[in-house]
Copies of this chain bind each other. A is one copy, B any other.
Amino acid sequence: MKILGIDPGTQVMGWGVIETDGDNVSAVGYGAIKVPDKLQPAGKLNLLYTELLKIIRKYQPDNIAVEQPFVARNVHSAFVVGRAQAVALLAAAGKKIPSFEYTPAQVKQRVSNYGASGKEQIQQMVKLMLGMKEIPQPYDAADALAIALCHAQESHLNDLISRT
């Protein structure tokens, strides 16, 4: 199964694709879409949307996992993240790929088995779990890979539960 993880942001949107057979997992590709400041809001969203569609076409993920931070620092950042999430969910729906949302606490719990881990610990775990030499850069990509790993763990657990 191939999973595309997305760390939504309107300035920088991290993405990471992993492949897993339930036992082994590896990183297939990752990066971050950076949006020029000078673009209008609609242009920014459109750029994110078209770039995400390209990534989906290239990697053909089976599932897409998006971070859903219920707790934003403030109302304005909630707007911005809400917009970026919408772009990710629309891109998934347009390609008929099932999408899943996870809170940062769920990602931390699944990736480090400890909900209160710091951002850096999560990035170290991503590196270890994917057998990488370095923490993937930029950090938005590492965060996106963590979200994909969270979905892989969740799917694996659900598989185990449904089999018993």
A138 part of interface (Cβ distance < 8 Å): no
Contact A45 B90 (CB under 8 A): yes
**Hey, which chain B residues are within 8 Å of A144, CB to CB?**
none
User: Copies of this chain, how many?
Assistant: 2
Contact B71 A75 (CB under 8 A): yes
Q: How far is the CA of A90 from the CA of B43 in the complex (A)?
A: 8
**Hey, which chain B residues are within 8 Å of A101, CB to CB?**
41
A121 part of interface (Cβ distance < 8 Å): no
Q: How far is the CA of A71 from the CA of B70 in the complex (A)?
A: 17
**Hey, which chain B residues are within 8 Å of A75, CB to CB?**
70-72, 74-75, 78
With CB as the reference atom, state the residue of chain B lying closest to A41: B89
Contact A90 B90 (CB under 8 A): yes
How many residues of A sit at the interface, in one of the four size bands? 20 to 34
With CB as the reference atom, state the residue of chain B lying closest to A91: B42
**What string of 1s and 0s marks CB contacts (under 8 Å) between A59-103 and chain B?**
000000000001110111011111111110110111000010100
Contact of A82 among B81, B92, B94 (CB under 8 A): B81
- The list of the 4 closest CB pairs from A to B, nearest first, reads A82-B82, A46-B93, A78-B78, A86-B86
Q: A45-B93, A71-B75, A72-B79 are in contact. List 11 more A-B contacts (CB 8 A).
A: A41-B89, A41-B99, A42-B90, A43-B93, A49-B94, A70-B75, A72-B75, A78-B78, A82-B83, A83-B83, A83-B85
